Amino acid sequence: MIHHDTRFALIDTDGDERFAARIDGTFQIGKAKDDTPTDIEKFVHAILVDGRDGRFVCADGSKPAVLKFMGRPRAVVGYRVDPQIATKLGIPPTGSR
């Protein structure tokens, strides 16, 4: 079952927030599901600090995709992360490209 975590979102070119997808209790890093942490902080670090990709979905379940923020993502123009998580990771709570 797919849920989403509103503490972290990538923002696409349409202005839609695509939230971190939680699939069967884990976040999935990499198209091949290379890593499946249960901790949102590890997922945010992988996406925003390490430059990896992960699975995201809109709140209504639309636009499920594997996205990344760094590098050459086609659909992503910004991000928003919970301020407490951002502080722990030493990153700004919002960012744009």
pLDDT digits 0-9 by tens, 24-79? 999 999 888 889 999 999 999 999 999 999 999 999 998 999 999 987 667 899 99
Domain range for 16 is: 2-96
Q: Which residue has the tokens 């990896």?
A: 52
Looking at residue 94, its pLDDT comes to: 97
Nearest alpha carbon to residue 9 among 85, 89, 90: 85
Tally the domains of the chain.
1
Euclidean distance between the first and the last CA atom of the chain, given in angstroms as a whole number:
32
Separation CA 87–CA 67 (nearest Å) = 23
| Residue 78: both structure tokens together | 């910004």
pLDDT for the residue numbered 74 = 72
